[in-house]
Structure 1
């Protein structure tokens, strides 16, 4: 692979003079300051002391980002030539954006495309139809298009607003063989294909699925193969902060460890991302007091995933707590014997076994993260008038998609006597969870009469604010 990456020494040199990692620094370094830092790093023969940097959490990072985004000073290079992408799900207001150097972003897309092609997910001859989201500051559609084109595929940009009937008609008409989208979008399209008459279904020849943003449950995977037959199911892993950086390919890793239900194995290139697995106790002090985190756990031991990107220099990502739980593993023998990846590349690849979100941070529904602290702040805001609340994530009875139910208790006057107030609250909650025509059938707001309609903990009898019945 030829696309540019940076050394750990270079990334740390710039991070030391960046406001993400020092509250005393006002603005990110300009190109001259960056070059000076790189020159100094080049002349420094000492090995970089990685653990001089404390762990960085989303809460800490976005304190700096919020300040930098609002500062329109010409000296504020954070606002210069940036690729802007949304992070997280609903927030009750304008979303928080993460800025990446636009050129660095394009180089990362090119390298991810090379990685996908090297691992054999897609290549010349593949026609991909993608239903990823665009607009409202989401960049998943244009990101997916360019990455897969860089991998050698031809891509149909369906987007998330195209009707399912048009999606299936396009797959048949253009002989598309790959369907791509967020996990929920893929399942929704497969569910529609299952309802088609036999003569229409046989015109659709999908042999690959590439999903992103959320895991497919074992039941959903079984449903996909039931409808489509022996289709290959791949996944891409990334985030607003780290960009795209890993992929799931059963041809290289197998179908996943049966002893860890719901886990998924992702292959990544150690030349582009450094991963630490730390004991969860590293964050026992909370988001505001993350320390150095201690030694990385040995291979196979699950813990919190900490990322350092070797593709981000202008706004470095150093020892960032992703909010996920996982473990590191060497590539299995299958990857070596498959002959898919050149041996010269294999030595740089490792496996991250992703086990899901750290329950202390957030949950995911319809391809979006919802952070618990922001959700609590939204629900408990005085203007909402909510006395108690509960969110339930569950499997749908009528489809393989996941449902989200929000239960709220409000004063009786707000329910019976003030229809306008109730309607306003419903709209606010739907806006927060980004409910739109595509997913409205999976979302329910239930106004309960009293506390007995909430589920409670078996120990203290407290109302559980989040219940996960899907995983």
Structure 2
């Protein structure tokens, strides 16, 4: 299947008519207008205009999205023919939808499947069982099933509701060789396999892992290989806003955990996504605005990741600040020996991710948690929270990270206000997407004194976010 991608000129022409980027524009272009942009070819802004295009942040886009989602006018094209994906809710409320044209979304899935096959992640005969989440507005299950099928795999959609014992039974019964899910789910399935008697464990014939969501830590990788043996570990990178767009194959990338601590290499196709690395200082203005100097850093330099999709016209993604920290690198010549055709290598690049910029969000149990939205929830007046602190930790005894919310409440607040069924606890757990499967990794701890919080060594201020992973 030949899928469609657009030129920079076409994407910028669409962006100039879109409320995401142009104040005063009420609604996105409809499909007829998009088609005219396609037919006009490269008659829009020049490609050089991209480097001077303003940066787009999550807060900026979602202010416009809130308006568009609420507007039920028959002329509101944002609500027409859209594939809806969700990002986390603000202040404990419902999650916010990001809309992509349904046809563009299906073409992106098809092209991502082709890319996965090109990079050797899926091969003929692969049977995949995926435990990705579905329902509750989340649709990673149907997304990954279709992508992997487009890559040539045969897929069993187990989902997150199937018990782990049933998942392991299916792995054996159907001779599955590939397990897919978010990293926390992969670790949990590995834990069930680890508990099997030796004669039963040897019936599990997994050769590959394909994970998504938060990165696997070194501890988790070591644990998975201890249980499953010398298994190949791959990853697909995507987001609510950009969709799936890059993948990690250790045989193609340059970085390993031993070479660059905490980094992971993702290969992407510059025909579908453009990536710039910018100095983090562009986001340091006190008033929240973006600094004027936005020249990309050279290859190998560490900075914030900014992306422009060449697969979106109806709701384009232009110069979007992802919240990730990374650097760009060429695909090594050795990738050709690993199966990448020489004529394709010229279009591929490596994004070396070093994690999230903590000014944006952090990951726990497969979910991105927007830090400023969590702060807004904890500072809601009705909860009467005097002080708070968030602690993300990696216990040595267990491969999954834990999340602890520490609170200081007025002495006048009755104990019933912090019981498991209280509105405050429910609001925090809803925001953090606490489920029966990860509840043992989550804790709300009520402190009785300010001195019990961890503080900075200089100003002795309460540290709002502590990352021990």
Per the TM superposition, whether the score is higher than 0.5 is yes
Offset at residue 300 of structure 1 (A):
0.3
* d(CA) in 2 for partners of 1:275, 1:202: 43
Distance 1:43 1:262 in 2: 43
Deviation, 1:127, is 0.7
Aligned to 1:372: 371
1:219 offset after TM fit, Å? 1.4
Whole-angstrom CA distance in 2 between matches of 1:465 and 1:86: 26
Distance, in Å, in 1 between the alignment partners of 2:407 and 2:75 is 47
Q: Is the 8 A contact 2:109 2:146 kept in 1?
A: yes
Task: Kindly indicate whether the alpha-carbon contact (under 8 Å) linking 1:52 and 1:292 is maintained by their aligned counterparts in 2.
Answer: no
Q: Give the distance between the partners of 1:452 and 1:183, measured in 2 at CA.
A: 36
Map Cα deviations across residues 4-37 of structure 1 (whole Å, 9 max, x no partner): 1111111111111111101210111122333344
* Cα separation, 2, equivalents of 1:248 and 1:354: 10
Matches within 5 A, 1:70-469: 70-88=70-88, 91-254=91-254, 256=256, 258-285=258-285, 288-291=288-291, 293-338=293-338, 340-416=339-415, 423-469=422-468
Q: TM-score, normalised by structure 1?
A: 0.96
Give distance in 2, aligned partners of 1:326 and 1:44: 31
Change (3 A) 1:52 1:40: farther
User: Aligned to 1:214, what secondary structure does the other structure show?
Assistant: coil
Counterpart for residue 15 of structure 2? 15
**Deviation at residue 396 of structure 1 after TM alignment:** 3.0
Which whole-Å CA distance do the structure 2 matches of 1:202 and 1:65 have between them?
50
- Asked whether the 8 Å contact 2:9–2:46 carries over to 1, the reply is no
**Any gaps of 5 or more consecutive residues in structure 1?**
none
For residue 419 of structure 1, report the CA deviation from its aligned partner: 6.4
Measured in 2, the distance between the counterparts of 1:272 and 1:111 equals 9
Q: Distance in 2 between matches of 1:175 and 1:388?
A: 52
Alignment coverage as a number of residue pairs:
469
Partners of 1:270 and 1:350 within 8 A in 2: yes
Superposition deviation, residue 285 in structure 1 = 1.7
Distance 1:79 1:49 in 2: 29
Distance 1:90 1:177 in 2: 39
Specify the alignment match of 1:53 in structure 2.
53
Query: What is the CA RMSD across the aligned residues, in angstroms?
Result: 1.8
Is the 1:304–1:326 contact (alpha carbons within 8 Å) kept by the matching residues of 2? yes
Q: How far off its partner does 1:287 sit?
A: 8.2
Tell me, in whole angstroms, the C-alpha distance in 2 between the residues paired with 1:418 and 1:442: 22
Measured in 1, the distance between the counterparts of 2:417 and 2:432 equals: 23
CA distance in 2, matches of 1:258, 1:398: 22
SS at match of 1:258: coil
Find the aligned partners of 2:377 and 2:427 in 1 and give their Cα distance. Answer: 9
Return closer, same or farther for 1:267/1:46 CA change in 2, 3 Å cut-off.
closer
CA drift at 1:196:
1.2
The 2-side partners of 1:437 and 1:15 are apart by 42
- What displacement does 1:2 show? 2.6
Q: Distance in 1 between matches of 2:43 and 2:167?
A: 56
Q: Give the Å deviation of 1:145.
A: 0.3
Retained in 1: the 8 A contact 2:187–2:399? Answer: yes
Residues 382, 4 of structure 1: alpha-carbon distance in 2 compared, 3 angstrom cutoff: same
Give the drift of 1:288: 4.5
* Runs of 5+ consecutive residues of structure 2 not aligned to the other structure: none
Deviation at 1:412, TM superposition (A): 2.3
